[in-house]
Structures are given as C-alpha cells and as structure tokens.
C-alpha cells in the first residue's frame, strides 16, 4: 500500500467507527432508524462533495446512483421520523412534531430535488449539489438541534 492509500483507508475506517460508536449509545430503535437514514443520506452527499472537489474521480453513474439513493431515502423520512422518540444522542428538535406538515414538506423538497437531478458531467453535478444541498440546510436549520 502506498502512503496515501494507508491514510485514506485509516480515515475511512475512523469515519465508519465514529458513526458506529455514536449510534452504539442510541438505544431507542426509532431514533436509531432515523439517524441511520440521515447517515446514509449524508454518506451519499459526501460522495458527491468529494467528487466535486476532485478528491475522488468524477463518475457520472456513481454520482447518479448516490442521488437516486438519496431520493429513495427521502421518501422514507416521514416514516422514520413519525414517532417523537427521544434519546440523549438525538439532535432532532421537538419542533418537528409541532410542525409536522412543514417537516414533511421539507422532506418532499429533498425528494423532488434528488429525483429531478441528472448528472452527466461536472457542471450538472454542481447544479445537483446546489439544489439538493439547499433542501438539507432548510430542514436542518429548522429542525436539527
Ligand atoms: C426533512 C428534514 C431533513 C432533511 C430534508 C434533511 N435532514 Fe438531515 N437531519 C434531520 C434531522 C431532524 C436530523 C437529526 C436526527 C436525530 O438526531 O434524531 C438530521 C441528521 C442528519 C445527520 C446526522 C445523522 C447521524 O448520524 O446522527 C446527517 C449526516 C444529515 N442529517 C445529513 C443530511 C443531508 C446531507 C441532507 C440533504 C441531502 C439532509 N440531511 C436532509 C432532518 C433533515
């Protein structure tokens, strides 16, 4: 293994382990399910971000697959967040269940942005990240502690 490969492998392992450790403390299955859904969406967004920065090679099919997974995951957001379960590790605001329809509309905005995005080249990757990323921020600002 070259030095850079060792560094990348270590970083990937640290990231995976970090997620597992954070979620290992979460006992409530509803909280764990929604964190896992968001974690998956986050991992796909990270792939797009790394591609756009040239940290990994541009690959239109891989980018599209990540976007398609985000669209599918977004559809499940209302289901995995429906129960107002609590956990000390959770960053979900109580406002979610006080403004449920607005929360669902923000999940739909992500679903629509992701299902409407097509990546063929680096310019369309940038455009997709812009439209998808805006919907993450809009929900997190309102509902993530
Ligand atoms: C409809 C609202 C909503 C949308 C849209 C949304 N998120 Fe989230 N996200 C949340 C909430 C709420 C939490 C906190 C969940 C908890 O801790 O219980 C969260 C948590 C996360 C986490 C932390 C997961 C963990 O391991 O605990 C990541 C990463 C994340 N979101 C990424 C994203 C990305 C990237 C997008 C856009 C592609 C996105 N989210 C779109 C509401 C949303």
pLDDT in tens, 82-134: 999 999 999 999 999 999 999 999 999 999 999 999 999 999 999 999 999 99
Range of the domain at 110: 27-143
CATH code of the domain covering residue 131: 1.20.120.10
- d(CA 42, CA 72) in angstroms, rounded, equals 13
User: 9-18, 28-37, 84-93, 103-112: lowest mean pLDDT where?
Assistant: 9-18
Whole-number pLDDT of residue 26:
87
Structural domain includes residue 137 = yes
Does a structural domain hold residue 19? Answer: no
Tell me the C-alpha distance between 64 and 117, whole Å.
8
Give me the chain's average pLDDT, please.
88
Pick 3 or 65 by higher pLDDT: 65
As for ligand 1, residues whose beta carbon falls within 6 Å of it are 31, 34-35, 38-39, 41-42, 45, 70, 77, 90-92, 103, 106-107, 110, 132, 135-136, 139-140, 143-144
In 3D space, the residue among 136, 107, 138, 142 whose CA is nearest the CA of residue 45 turns out to be 136
Ligand 1 pocket check: which of 63, 136, 145 to mutate, most ligand atoms within 8 Å of Cβ? 136
Report yes or no on 17 lying in a domain: no
**Do 141 and 96 meet the contact criterion of CB atoms below 8 Å apart?**
no
pLDDT digits (tens, 9 = 90+) for 44-85: 999 999 999 999 999 999 999 999 999 999 999 999 999 999
Query: 97 in a domain, yes or no?
Result: yes
pLDDT of 24 reads 67
Contact (CB, 8 A) for 89 and 25: yes
Number of folded domains in the chain?
1
């Amino acid at each position: 293994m070259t030095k850079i490969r060792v560094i990348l492998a270590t970083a990937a392992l640290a990231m995976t382990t970090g997620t597992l450790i954070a979620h290992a403390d979460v006992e409530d299955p509803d909280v764990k399910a929604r964190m896992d859904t968001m974690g998956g969406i986050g991992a796909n967004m990270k792939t797009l971000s790394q591609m756009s920065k040239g940290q990994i090679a541009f690959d239109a099919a891989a980018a599209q697959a990540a976007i398609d997974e985000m669209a599918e995951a977004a559809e499940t957001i209302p289901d995995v967040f429906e129960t107002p379960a609590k956990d000390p590790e959770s960053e979900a605001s109580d406002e979610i269940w006080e403004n449920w329809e607005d929360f669902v509309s923000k999940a739909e905005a992500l679903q629509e942005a992701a299902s409407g995005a097509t990546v063929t080249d680096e310019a369309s990757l940038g455009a997709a990240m812009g439209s998808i990323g805006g919907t993450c921020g809009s929900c997190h600002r309102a509902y993530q502690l």
